Amino acid sequence: MKAVSDLKSFDRWEWLLITVLTFAAGWLFLANLGDQRLWDDEAQTALIAKTILTDGVPRGYDGKNFFSQENGREYGTNYVYRWHTWFPFYLLAGVFRLFGINEFTARLPFALLGLATVPLSYGFARSLWQSRRAAVLAAVLLSTSVSFLILSRQCRYYAPCAFFSLLSLYAYWLLIRRRRGAALLFVVSATLLFHSLFYYWAVLVLVVLIHSAIFHRDRLMAVASWSFVTFLLNLPWLIWLLSPPTVGRYPERTDYWYRPIVVAKEYFVQILRYVFSPILVLLLLAMDLRTRTPIRQFVRENDKLVGEASLLLLFVGVNFVSLCFLTPLHFFRYLAPSIPVLCLLAAYILDSSMRIHWAIGLVALAGILFFSRFSSYLYEVTHHYVGPIDGIVAYLNEHGKPDDVVAITYGDLPLKFYTKMRVVGGLTGEDLTPALHADWVIFRHNINCDKDEAVTKYLRKHLPREHYRSITLDCPDIPNNNREDPDQHVYRTVTNVPGVVILQRDDAARKKEAERKWKRP
């Protein structure tokens, strides 16, 4: 059967439908985008992108502040950044150059790539399932996926990885069907995926080779050849990224034989809670009981369908298994490229249930939205949010000076983005001696990891507390300003925790210290 994937097969009404879906999703992706301050991971991306505007390459140091979260392991010679590949940084640097530097522009290119994934999911689902209804359902499910919306609105690599993963899979789908331009699209999208985060490129290549070897052996050589082209194009980068000094690893990770099992359990729970609702699993089981078709007969009668679904399942499965062995912790963000793929599978299940009766699919879709955090997300994008960084930045910019020194146990990167001060501490691993004479000191209430715990212990032991007065700010001292993990994301301002406390070096202490330095022979 001829696939209906070619754009020329869409009539004007279908193009209108895609446009309406995209514009409706646009509000969800872009509303209130610049309201919240960048949290640490976002600020790191933005700070590194700013160095491109001055140095031409991404660096982890700008002459005043360091931008590390791993004790300086992210960069090599001359502080050139090597932890991630560079496409997100250059993309953001271009936006900064054109539109200025603020929260909105920092998140804009990533939110737009997340939004672009919506019409892409429509086109891919239309081609895979040959159903307009399934295509609409895929776009709707992705547009209302709270976890995907939050990830896409982060100034980080998540949205580029999700978009180029789906585009590469779509290009592969067209390639095995001998569509004109498919090979070029595959090479370009896979290369951009490599430069978004090269790990997902490896997953992609492994998936398409396995899938073509099982289901499309006549196209295996073509797929292998074009995959090898992407390998050759990116080989110099791969050698450089993996050559000594080796970066991009977590040497403090604790390994034990059952760790992959623990990580797998956590990821499985996260997928069911935030991506692939248990409602879909129950719906699939109910349809299976209704048809009562033996699995062998189903596979034999629906071999093409099995091949189509297996491509999506392979990608999710390979990504899932490799993360269980490679990831330092079960960070939800690593599942970002799997979310659109799972939405395509969910769309097929809902579409199939609607073929039995339209009400079944609508009730299931309503149930998915009801049990998601969509209402909380709507509140977030229509109200102002205040986090700890809001209060700290506002106070320092009002009462501090550009040549002041700030010592902080965690949250240093946003301060480096929003102020012109020298900021010491955080997770940089730098020399903490300047912190002992800091003009401002901030002990965050929560300890995030061993790195900021070491900073806290050092400051508590060596800092002359009698030289400082404390100021309590009207902002909640929660662990992060707001992060991307759905288990830790906050949808509204927290009001039931103490405020952030800032220590300010008093004028008398400053004067005495200045006199001692002046009298020193």
pLDDT of 329: 78
Across the range 371-384, mean pLDDT stands at 95
pTM of the model: 0.92
pLDDT at residue 247, as a whole number? 52
The verdict on 172 and 111 lying in the same domain is yes
More confident of the two residues 369 and 247: 369
Residue 265 lies in a domain: yes
512 domain-assigned: yes
Mean pLDDT calculated for residue range 74-91? 93
Structural domain of 214? 7-34+102-380
pLDDT tens digits, one per residue of 332-349? 999 999 999 999 999 999
pLDDT per residue over 474-491, tens digit each? 999 999 999 999 989 999
Please indicate, yes or no, whether residues 376 and 392 belong to a single structural domain of this protein. Answer: no
On whether both 345 and 444 belong to a single domain, the answer is no
Report yes or no on 364 lying in a domain.
Answer: yes
User: What is the overall mean pLDDT for the chain?
Assistant: 89
Banded model confidence at residue 12, pLDDT cuts 50, 70, 90: confident
Predicted confidence at residue 519, as pLDDT, reads 45
Residue 251, pLDDT score: 53
Judge whether residue 326 has pLDDT over 60: yes
What percent of the chain clears pLDDT 90, i.e. is strictly above it? 75
pLDDT tens per residue across span 298-312: 445 455 566 788 999
Instruction: Report d(CA 59, CA 78) in Å as an integer.
Output: 8
Q: Does position 236 have pLDDT exceeding 70, yes or no?
A: yes
pLDDT at 2 over 50: no
pLDDT of residue 449 exceeding 80: yes
Per-residue pLDDT tens digits for 40-53: 999 999 999 999 99
For residues 127 and 132, give the distance between their C-alpha atoms in angstroms, rounded to a whole number: 9
Residue 55 lies in a domain: no
Give the count of domains, the chain: 2
**CB neighbourhood size of 321 (10 A):** 14
Please state, in angstroms and as integers, the Cα–Cα distance from residue 116 to each residue in 26, 190, 333, 420, following that order: 9, 17, 19, 35
Rounded Cα distance between 177 and 216, Å, is: 10
Give the amino acid at 456.
Answer: T
Same domain, yes or no: 319 and 458: no
Helix (H) or strand (E) holding 499, with range, is: strand 499-505
Q: What is the pLDDT of residue 289?
A: 63
Three-class DSSP category at 113: helix
pLDDT of residue 76: 85
Count of C-beta atoms within a 10 Å radius of residue 454: 17
For 130-158, how does the pLDDT look when each residue is reduced to its tens digit (9 = 90+)? 899 999 999 999 999 999 999 999 999 99
Answer yes or no: do 340 and 232 share one domain. Answer: yes
pLDDT tier, 213 (very low <50, low <70, confident <90, very high otherwise): very high
**Mean pLDDT within 440-450:** 92
Q: Which two tokens stand for residue 436?
A: 């002992």
Same domain, 347 and 392: no
Give the residue with greater pLDDT, 223 vs 292. Answer: 223
Domain end point (choices 318, 349, 380): 380
**Is residue 60 over pLDDT 60?**
yes
Q: What is the band of 210 on the pLDDT scale with cuts at 50, 70, 90?
A: very high
Assess whether 357 and 409 both reside in one domain: no
Residues 294 and 306: their CA atoms lie apart, in Å, by 14
Instruction: Specify whether 376 is located in the same domain as 396.
Output: no
Beta-strand ranges (E) seen in 347-484 are 405-408, 422-425, 440-442, 468-476
Over residues 225-246, mean pLDDT: 89
Please check the confidence at residue 293 and state whether its pLDDT lies above 90: no
Contact between 237 and 85 under an 8 Å Cβ cutoff? The reply is yes
233 in a structural domain: yes
Closest alpha carbon to 339 in 220, 486, 455: 486
Answer with the one of 348, 380, 412 that is the final residue of a domain.
Answer: 380
**What six digits make up the tokens of 133?**
């209804």
- Residue 242 pLDDT class (50, 70, 90 cuts): confident
Give the pLDDT score at 323: 94
Residue range 162-194, pLDDT digits in tens: 999 999 999 999 999 999 999 999 999 999 999
Q: Percent of the chain at pLDDT above 70?
A: 89
Answer yes or no: is 482 within a domain.
Answer: yes
Domain-embedded: residue 234: yes
- Quick one: 356 and 401 in the same domain? no
Q: Which of 380, 398, 431 is the last residue of a domain?
A: 380
Domain check: are 310 and 363 in the same one?
yes
Confirm whether 56 is domain-assigned: no
pLDDT greater than 70 at residue 253: no
Residue 416's pLDDT is what? 97
Task: Answer whether residue 295 shows pLDDT above 60.
Answer: no
Q: What is the pLDDT of residue 305?
A: 62
Averaged pLDDT for residues 496-506:
93
Residues 399 and 364 in one domain: no
406 and 340 in a common domain: no
